[in-house]
Structure 1
């Protein structure tokens, strides 16, 4: 009995580690694009007139090249538990839904959505602080460091509730985003292994009877999953950022709830320049991010013998 519990704990640790490493690798790769997206979405006065690449150039010129990764330390603190919880809970939810509706095609969709919501609820305050830090401009810092940001938000913006501003929009967007992302990747993975095992798959390094995707195939499947899921959920992401930044924006009264935020953004800026502003940069972000995340997760799982 004791040995069974030790083995189960060992598996849990390995799954959490695989998910956390995957998330950190993915976010570091797209860190500069992530910060640029935040500045463009929130129409920062210094950068709102620029396109994606000009904005990145101006950030590097004005604040220095490393400023493109501003907020990345906070991102790593946030993303490790976020990704660990998301990937781990996806595996658990998938098994749970399979016991309820065996063979049901959309079990993976439900499991992905459930995993996304679980990870958001557990780590949202970290995302709030990371967004505030990334929005700062060198020489105009509102927050001295991460602990100072937590203290300032807590004491000046309403306590614990201030850390969850915008979470409703995040959850609404996460349901289709995580669901479609996990569903698309796992479905493509199963199809590739089933239909073209000799070309698109190879033997697991620890288990010759198990097939895993080749690296380039995994990257392609993850990138496609990211592109599809992002298209579905992007307006909610715009609303989430506006609500998170409401306290530091001049017209903050417009961004108190998800629907009022969506209406305000649409009324002021329209569909393309408002609700879908920054979508092109999000494709540049999310495609490599999801490609790296799923690929690293699959590789670490294989490396530690989880397959």
Structure 2
């Protein structure tokens, strides 16, 4: 009996030693933080999570992980992983099926359909036999920070959405317990702070875009550099951030409304389809998300108009946001606060559909290029780039509607009959079809920095809030 135990320990130590040697690239007998990051580059772990993993393992605080420390970590992790595996293996056949994933997630308050369960399963199912054995389970989760079933599910489903200053369509799903603990609202706060910082950092490009959209060829013919010089000469460097205050202020109510509306629409859809399981399909989530986005946009749309007016104001024209609202109301009436509403709403669904579809397509193209199947994880930089490129494509497709919206928001009574039809006709007459894409250059320039800044701030804020 003892000899069998010794042999089992020898085999296990050899297996763990092989994993250690694979991570230890320079073969110096220790794992550094850089080597750990390299080993986890295909997992969507934030730097804070990787640092936390190293800290929990590095018992002597030398910023390195010895084989003994790694061995202790792996043995402890595998104890947790075995318990979680048994918890999900409902029929005790030492395999996990999509049905068992669906049942376990329902027990945790996360209702998903069978297709989503199958997609989760595919991330671990290396031999494509439509179930997960313990070796696949352990291999996938060994170096994660997940300790219990809830952590594992969260890690498994982990994805991130970046605030590009546009309409995010499908918000995150949260369990009842996460909502009770405030994780949902903390996540919204983190997203709001990230959005404020990224929008503030890219505000000059946003103002340049709005100016070129509103003034058409007149502004565009000056060129980007000359347009920036004009804005600085007219109002100083601070004028580059005109309208950014309103842009940041509207993030909080927009995010809160969208989240609450999304939850309500999901319940309505479940009731409408008479779905007794309570599962919401990806298509239904898309519909709920689009409706939530439209609801949020409707309620905060007056702030969109104020943002445009504040961006385009001359020095001294308005002393504050409230002064702007007051003067605009007195001069043009209440209806001005919903000018451009129709093209804005019309752009939400196609933008979201293109963005979501292309995001998955670009990620899959990357995996195919490196000879990985669709179940493999993608590095953070690939997800960031995929998100940025898909967002750009979505914006290009719906940019004419955004331009018409901005022109309508900027127009006053003296500009004659104000309508979507007249504005579109004037653009074609005076500038041609290309006129519908005035200002798209600055808009594209802000995407990459906005993505990078937003993601970095979001991760730091989540860590600070203890999510």
Same fold? TM cut 0.5: yes
Select which of 304, 313, 317 maps to 1:136.
Answer: 313
Residue 450 of structure 2 corresponds to 289
1:70-219 correspondence to structure 2 within 5 Å: 70-86=242-258, 106-107=283-284, 109-138=286-315, 141-159=316-334, 161-182=335-356, 184-185=358-359, 195-197=375-377, 200=379, 214=380, 216-219=381-384
Following superposition, the deviation at residue 235 of structure 1 comes to 0.5
Residue 241 of structure 2 corresponds to 69
Note the aligned Cα RMSD (angstroms).
Answer: 3.6
Residue 206 of structure 1 corresponds to none
Query: Which one has the largest radius of gyration?
Result: 2
Native 8 Å contact 2:392 2:447 kept in 1: yes
Q: What is the distance in 2 between the residues matched to 1:295 and 1:107?
A: 30
Native 8 Å contact 1:223 1:290 kept in 2: yes
Following superposition, the deviation at residue 239 of structure 1 comes to 0.6
Following superposition, the deviation at residue 136 of structure 1 comes to 1.3
TM-score, reference length from structure 2: 0.52
Residue 387 of structure 2 corresponds to 222
Native 8 Å contact 1:16 1:84 kept in 2: yes
Q: What is the distance in 1 between the residues matched to 2:191 and 2:232?
A: 31
> Secondary structure of 2:221's match?
coil
Following superposition, the deviation at residue 37 of structure 1 comes to 0.8
**Structure 1: tracts of 5 or more residues without a match:** 201-213
TM-score, reference length from structure 1: 0.75
Following superposition, the deviation at residue 265 of structure 1 comes to 1.6
With over 3 angstroms needed to count, the CA separation of the structure-2 counterparts of 1:127 and 1:195, relative to structure 1, is same
Q: What is the distance in 2 between the residues matched to 1:35 and 1:105?
A: 36
With over 3 angstroms needed to count, the CA separation of the structure-2 counterparts of 1:88 and 1:78, relative to structure 1, is same
Q: 1:134-173, CA deviations, whole angstroms, 9 ceiling, x for partnerless residues?
A: 10122xx4322111111112222112x2211111111112
Select which of 182, 197, 209 maps to 1:10.
Answer: 182
User: How many pairs were matched up?
Assistant: 281
Q: 1:61-104, CA deviations, whole angstroms, 9 ceiling, x for partnerless residues?
A: 44222211112112211233324544675677678768959685
**Structure 2: tracts of 5 or more residues without a match:** 1-175, 368-372
Q: What is the distance in 2 between the residues matched to 1:83 and 1:147?
A: 22
